[in-house]
Amino acid sequence: MCGIAGYLELPRARGGGGETRIRAMTDTLIHRGPDDGDVWLDGETGIALGARRLAIIDLSRAGRQPMVSSCGNFVLAYNGEIYNARELRGELEAAGKTFRGYSDTEVIVEGCALWGVEETAKRIIGMFAFALWDRRAKRLFLVRDRLGIKPLYWTRANGVLIFGSELKALRAHKDFQARIDRNSVAAYLRHNFIPAPHTIYANVHKLEPGKILVVDGSGEPRIESFWSLEEVAREGM
């Protein structure tokens, strides 16, 4: 179990204290990743990524996160396990990609560099939630696995998109607005859980399973689907 956190500030919302802020968010997830933790940020574009790591597959420093792709354009913070990582690695190596280590994190970031985010998400078999920053396009992707096994929360507040594996990571950001959603409380009392995309807080969302949230220079998040249970059922009928 690992944990990720981060934020993307629009130009009008950018200020100082970026590294302190992302480290505070990431530190709330230390129980998810006791082996290692680090952050990556670019003050010019307002992006910050943090990760806490439970090292399982690649115990070396080659598996550290956030991880930058070999081309230098993509930065990844990832939580999960990819069951077909070895097969995907073979396909990437056949296409000319070289690897520094043996982590499935590296398979994802190199896959996104070669195939794109949506195609990589479709090829992955496993449980995952990840944030990927495209430095050239200045575009952020948040991706959650088909069945929503790995959690990923997000919100917008004061011109900042904030996200993380747990709500406590979001709460550590100074712009987070903790307002209880009464409809979510009612849903919990009725069903004993709060269905996605809702959470206990108003205007704070769970990214739904099989979805990709994309944010570019406009600052307006859009949500796309790379997998749908309804479509699978429809095709099987």
Q: Which residue is listed with tokens 């680090």?
A: 38
How far is Cα 29 from Cα 187, in angstroms, rounded to an integer?
27
CB 191 within 8 A of CB 174: no
Which residue among 1, 2, 9, 175 is the active-site one? 2
Q: Which residue is listed with tokens 């354009």?
A: 73
Strands 139-144 and 153-157: unpaired
The question of whether 112 is a catalytic residue gets the answer no
Catalytic residues: 2
